[in-house]
Structure 1
């Protein structure tokens, strides 16, 4: 006889996305900014019929390298965060002194949440951890971690194309630069719009703010020699 309730079945079937909206937006914007540093230096590209191709390959090569580095660091951050949480759980589970275990949980709370959680609530968490049959001795990677790393890599690389592809498709570099800027601003606005909806900060406001941030950051990166 199956005693699982519909609510429990729905909770089990529901799967969190590998990357949340904030992570997707930030990785996409990171790739855009990296590609923009090359497009901003378009005048430095060697003149000739293949100048646009050289620019595109330079931007793509940069984002391939940074996409790989960012994907690896995503794995490092993920494992480190999981290890930190596991260490806390093991500490609380093995601590014979209930008060000391509750203090460990309280110390791990973010500063903004610490006043909102009382010791009785932390004691319930401590009791659940103490009653847990087993906990893994160390943190391990999961399949979704690698899916997330691949997603990070692809987001950074894909963001190259709307910025640099016009220089291959359009012979006039001035027209290509204008198209590239328009596409970039549109993507930045879309990214900010999605972020604003996700955080409740106002979609339109966040979209225009992201556009402005992209312009300022690109100018700063190019000015600093990026």
Structure 2
């Protein structure tokens, strides 16, 4: 659960990016893995002079489909999360017993934060919620939800191009496959680097970890005949 209070989450979500760094990086990696696995799976069954363009459009079509599915699931998650927060806020606001309301707030805290927040602090949140004149009766989609879904779709689809372009630009399909996989690993390193820097886990460490994950996946694809 997000560490912000129900009051903050149900009344205003200003100042936050539509997609945070973790969401952007994970969606980009998702698109890269999809393209990588798809290219590895179909390369053996494509032949002829137009094999490169077939691979490019096949990988693009695959990521278009998955990008759409992931965007729809982003909308579902956004509405479900907002509904969960609103339900908590309404429960606390309507609960006449202060102790019960405070326990509901405590139960919603992340496990790591629960020992750090005392009942007096939760009582302040309960009081603010109780003092609010109205709260929305149900969760609704917002403009930013659709912008976020569009961002998810574009990240998944755009990640296809660096992986698939070598099959159009390089005539030798074996060389094109090697170039495609090297580009994928380089992009995975960059994504891991950004994620590690954002989370404080160590940029270089996270970059190499993400690259290693890509190598393991590539080896699995080859072992399976890709």
Equivalences for 1:9-28 in 2 at 5 Å? 15-28=15-28
- Match of 1:211, SS? helix
- Note the C-alpha offset of 1:123: 0.3
Aligned-CA RMSD value = 1.8
Distance 1:117 1:225 in 2: 54
Q: Name the residue aligned to 1:31.
A: 31
TM-score, normalised via structure 1 length:
0.90
Deviates most, 40-49 or 170-179: 40-49
For 1:180-211, what per-residue CA distance to the aligned partner results, in whole angstroms no more than 9, with x for missing partners? 11211110010000001100011111101000
Aligned positions, number: 214
Moved segments of 4+, more than 3 Å: 217-226
- List gaps (5 residues or longer) in structure 2: 1-11
TM-score by length of 2: 0.90
Q: Is the 8 A contact 1:45 1:51 kept in 2?
A: no
Decide which moves more: 15-24 or 40-49.
40-49
Distance in 2 separating the partners of 1:221 and 1:78: 33
The answer for the alignment partner of 1:172 in structure 2 is 172
Q: Distance in 2 between matches of 1:144 and 1:223?
A: 42
What's 1:76 paired with?
76
Inter-partner Cα distance in structure 2 for 1:209 and 1:49: 37
- Distance in 1 between the 2:134 and 2:50 partners? 62
Pair 221,129 (structure 1): closer, same or farther in 2 beyond 3 Å: farther
- CA offsets per residue over residues 14-57 of structure 1, 9 Å max, x none? 73211000000000000000000122235413211000111111
- The CA distance in 2 between the partners of 1:49 and 1:198, in whole Å, is 44
1:176-187 to 2 correspondence within 5 Å?
Answer: 176-187=176-187
Name the residue aligned to 1:98. Answer: 98
Give the unaligned 5+ runs of structure 1. 1-11
